[in-house]
Structure 1
């Protein structure tokens, strides 16, 4: 009687977990069943060699008992010997014949683990057929159909592999006795911030700098943010001033895991604060990803109302610094499975994430999606094989070049950070960055000034931010479009520029500017002014051979309106200039009409007509040779000059 407990346990394992019938109970003696129970106990303890030795003796006596071969397969699977596991399982299938069902599924799983995806599809199809023969018409049959469909996807992905050579970041970052994961890179690619689990329990942030030879320096703790509590899964804005991370089990927590933030003030980080009940709930919020400018926050949560266990949500940051109520990304992205580890790319339109719900290689796969012209999510695409495997893929970080990817991988207590080159099909649009220092031209004192950045395209969004107390401003610019840029501060001439990124441009070509704002005083001539003191309106454009202003020109002209409104005693001269294409007379008339068009706009915004003088110089005042398109473009310009009369 004392034998029945473990025997019943074993037979339950055989008939439900393994799922293969009950002939062992009929064919074997009690003494042999006792040996079988001992085998199962050894398997539970993961003592696979000892279990296999005992089982081999039983198989030698009862080679026609299918369950013994199935159990042999489970042992080989536990040892990671998938080829041997397949052989044993198929031997059991041969014995069972057409009555087998679950064994077909088990063979398919093993072929998947062994990366034999075509054979896996064949056996999933056999599993479905066995259920149909048995007259099944229930949830089990539907799940089998889903498995077949997923296996077809996997077979197709595996049949079109990408070049893939992940490289560990080296001993400066990766250590033999700690876990390193969740990498994030500065915009210039020179500083890495990541999470390290020390002593298998304590999570802290570390930073490492890229050396001249491309290696990484020995990582050091991130001063000011780390505490005796766990800090992990960080995300940081492009300017390096705002950081959000996951904190679990904290006294001020609202749920099991919450999102916290810290801000850099000078050379120190503020004490971390909970993002509050607008974002955090009694459930779990984790794995944050900020947009480069810090206005969007993506994260994973298992809160009520989702589509599965973990879903991905997004929240927007308001001008007062508070976050809006998060919105579920919806069923185009989220599934009934786990959707986690979001990463919002620098192109501001592409999202990477992991999912167990979309068809893939098995476990959690990496996917990408993006927003279309109507701001709707496209159907996610699997990143493919061998980036995705039958195991679990997790966090991904992609540099501004759109091709340098960083991620963590490993097993158990051996997890390191690797880098690899994304295949072209899986890349977001590349991006670069602009880094600005704004100072007073007379004193060199840093200025807190307002910076405007406008995408010069239909429906382009205007970003308005201030420089920090050091006069610094940094933002990321996705390539593929041009940007208007202006800096203004009351009492100073505004500065304008234009960043042309519609063609080829890389993150290795950033815009780094020192902007010296000129105080508005009589006889002040800005450093970038022309000989007569005129300043180019770099973002005022007209239709070709026309005096009709293009819509995005008003953004820059409004800066001039604001300047004139703040200086009522100052008048202005608007001048039009052309290149030398066409006749002198036509160019002269066109320059006059364009200057007059700007004058009319200023008047429409409330500037008195007698404060504005418009003049055209045609092609008579070039600032560059007219021998190249770039030179001609520089000569086609509109300028303004302040008149202290």
Structure 2
């Protein structure tokens, strides 16, 4: 945890010194030089104060107040080593001198920042043993002591992270931070700043992974996105076609920094749009992270109604595609200090973020929490050496949960460094449910023309869709994310075409053997047939299982959108059992689907049903897999009216 010593603190110290009529010296010339230096210090002219302070020490080397002032001025200038020398000299002269109490606090804080936790504990403990400590400073010291103890334990049992700085062009700028990768880890996007000054331009760049594992020369993400204003802290949807980012002081918005969105069609990014007042406010909003399907966004804001200075909030799209009001993630995640740079994993259940409001190793540490039934677990510090005395932030974890990327910021003697690193994630901090991706192209089955298709992914134990997106208008490309321990139904549809569906039992990511699924949609015409792959019955039964609901909803939706279409619900079986039994079973199963649609007020003029038993197999009945293919419900277009 970083403890900031404010200008007010130093001025308070000097005013305390002024309450004494006599200083810790008998040399009047030394006292005069010290008084001169105090005037500079009151005006925060720290560099100008050094000459009279040194003059005072030349007259009296044991002038404690001068050593204390020298230490304070050096601290304000970021000269921590010189600060330690000056303050320790004061304590050496008289360790119990009343004016030296803040030296123990300040030395303890510096040692804490430098990861010298044992020394930090000793000095802070001495500070806390004194009676005349301020309440606020005492609380800060107590927190630092707790952090020191945590850090010492963490360093005794380090995790195997195999942290590596990213090579080649990925770290070619003065500063680079906020890495985010495509779901296949072949492209990295990051924010780059042209120089060390906060006034210098920030833009979003990307780099592609080459065959030898190195990164290509970074390129600007798009002229439509990068501008003369600052753009940064980007996040991508899993299909790489929705990008959200922060822009400050330039674009029209609601506050000092707002979150914007751009969409990719083909190779071109659209002109960014402000994400609106459900997400942005008159306060500061930044550092967004998108869910895999782009329908939920997590971001940082210092708006009112939070728990601390900067909190993590979220917003989700409703059924109409509109963003809902932002919701605070709650006090399990947020503290009375800063929570920043959230990253929501592809599984939608695991969040990683940085905080300086929890017990850690110093500065901003990275924590992890997982969501079960909308409740976040107690955050866990990711331990040493991923976390250390520096600031760690802007983490990205691969969909399979094995690889991570993040930023390390180092500040020392006025210099500032920010570079990108990769690491291997230890088992202790991997997501409970890993993810993989499925990608492909949607085309017209007759012409091969790419299609703009609606793609819905259901968890089959839940009739609500889990994720929804559109394929690329120009290329037909799509990407969806699948997570372990789920059975999915995938539905792909486009106006004027018969939909297709697929089923995936995704119990083990390592057993998932294909990431590619190209889909050819048949135009709506008489004779077109599709298998309803997510209709489920118990063995030898005809009552619909509840996990059939997502399929039934999609069939209903198609019929409502195409009232001119007349369809037959066809039932089929394998050849196990008698032909008469199979004919009866297939007829009853087809009727179960028919009855559901009639219940939903689809008319007899639009649907009918028929059982075919074992008479129309689509595969030889020579093994269990082929038999399962033959046990099916089909959806066949019988006619198209002129209405």
Report TM bin, short chain: 0.7 to 0.9
Aligned partners of 1:393, 1:550: CA distance in 2, in Å?
Answer: 48
Q: 1:472 to 1:56 in 2, by over 3 A?
A: same
Q: Gaps spanning 5+ residues in structure 1: where?
A: 1-8, 527-534
Secondary structure at the residue paired with 2:552? helix
- Residues 191 and 209 of structure 1 are in contact (CA less than 8 Å); yes or no, is this contact kept in structure 2? yes
1:21-60 matches, within 5 Å, as: 25-33=23-31
User: SS where residue 479 of structure 2 aligns?
Assistant: strand
Q: Match of 2:181?
A: 185
> What is the CA-CA distance between 1:338 and the residue it aligns to?
1.6
| In the alignment, structure 1 residue 452 sits paired with structure 2 residue 448 | no
Q: Following the alignment from structure 1 to structure 2, what is the Cα–Cα distance between the partners of residues 111 and 602?
A: 72
- CA shift at 1:483, angstroms? 0.9
Q: Distance in 1 between matches of 2:114 and 2:15?
A: 21
Shift of residue 219, structure 1, vs aligned partner: 0.8
Aligned to 1:156: 153
The answer to whether 1:264 aligns with 2:259 is no
Cα RMSD over matched residues?
4.4
Trace 1:213-612 onto structure 2 (pairs within 5 A): 213-224=212-223, 225-250=225-250, 252-318=252-318, 321-373=321-373, 375-411=374-410, 412-428=415-431, 429-458=433-462, 461-470=465-474, 471-505=476-510, 511-524=515-528, 535-543=530-538, 546-561=541-556, 566=562, 570-572=566-568, 574-577=570-573, 594-595=589-590, 597-605=592-600, 606=602, 608=604, 611-612=608-609
Which residue in the other structure is 1:4 paired with? none
The residue that corresponds to 1:529 in the other structure is: none
Preserved contact between residue 243 and residue 263 of structure 2 (Cα < 8 Å): yes
Cα separation, partners in 2 of 1:334 and 1:123, compared to 1, 3 Å: same
| CA separation of 1:22 and 1:215: change in aligned 2, threshold 3 A | farther
CA deviations on 1:466-523 (whole Å, 9 max, x unpaired) are 43423333222223312101123454332111122122348x9663222111234344
SS at match of 1:153: helix
Pairing 1:66-85 to 2, within 5 Å after superposition: 68=67, 79-81=79-81
Residue from 604, 607, 632 that aligns with 1:638: 632
Task: Write the distance in 2 (CA, Å) between the matches of 1:453 and 1:98.
Answer: 69
Q: Is the Cα–Cα contact under 8 Å of residues 82 and 113 in structure 1 kept in the other structure? A: no
Residue 383 of structure 1 and its aligned partner are, at CA, apart by 1.8
**May I ask how many residue pairs the two structures share in their alignment?**
615
Cα separation, partners in 2 of 1:230 and 1:637, compared to 1, 3 Å: same
- Report the CA distance between 1:309 and its aligned residue: 1.7
Structure 1 position 215, deviation (Å): 0.3
Go from structure 1 to structure 2 and tell me whether the alpha carbon gap of 1:72 and 1:523 turns closer, same or farther (over 3 Å shift): closer
Is the 2:435–2:509 Cα contact (8 Å) retained in structure 1? Answer: no
5+ residue gaps in structure 2? Answer: 1-6
CA distance in 2, matches of 1:544, 1:130: 78
C-alpha distance in structure 2 between counterparts of 1:322 and 1:242, whole Å = 15
Deviates further, 425-434 or 71-80: 71-80
SS of the residue 1:348 aligns to: coil
Deviations 1:259-314 (A, max 9, x none): 22222233322323333334322222111222221111222122233322222221
CA contact (8 A) 1:576 1:637 kept: yes
Q: Secondary structure at the match of 1:105?
A: helix
The Cα shift of 1:464 comes to 4.0
CA contact (8 A) 2:390 2:409 kept: no
Please give the TM-score of this superposition, normalised by the length of structure 1. Answer: 0.81
| CA–CA separation in structure 1 for the residues paired with 2:557 and 2:329 | 40
3-state SS of the aligned residue for 1:539? coil
Structure 1 residues 529-575: Cα deviation after superposition (integer angstroms, max 9, x where no partner): xxxxxx54321223456444221212213434455664777453533
Q: Deviations over 1:375-405 (max 9, x none)?
A: 1222222222222222322222222222322
CA offsets per residue over residues 17-57 of structure 1, 9 Å max, x none?
Answer: 99999799233523445676899989976799999998997
Q: Deviations over 1:42-101 (max 9, x none)?
A: 997679999999899788x539x5974895698699555499759937954973189974
The alpha-carbon distance between structure 1 residues 616 and 371, as it changes in their structure 2 partners (threshold 3 A), is same
Partners of 2:175 and 2:417 within 8 A in 1: yes
2:144 and 2:595 mapped to 1: Cα distance? 67
User: Matched residues in 2 for 1:344 and 1:96: separation?
Assistant: 51
Query: How far apart are the structure 2 equivalents of 1:102 and 1:636?
Result: 82
**Inter-partner Cα distance in structure 1 for 2:94 and 2:539:** 78
Compute the displacement of 1:357 (Å): 1.7
Q: Distance in 1 between matches of 2:463 and 2:427?
A: 28
Q: Identify if the C-alpha distance between structure 1 residues 558 and 316 changes in structure 2 by more than 3 Å, giving closer, same or farther.
A: closer
Name the SS for the 1:395 alignment partner.
strand
Q: Partner of 1:3 in structure 2?
A: none
Q: Is the 8 A contact 2:362 2:389 kept in 1?
A: yes
Q: Which residue does 1:5 correspond to in 2?
A: none
Matches of 1:303 and 1:455 in 2, distance apart? 35
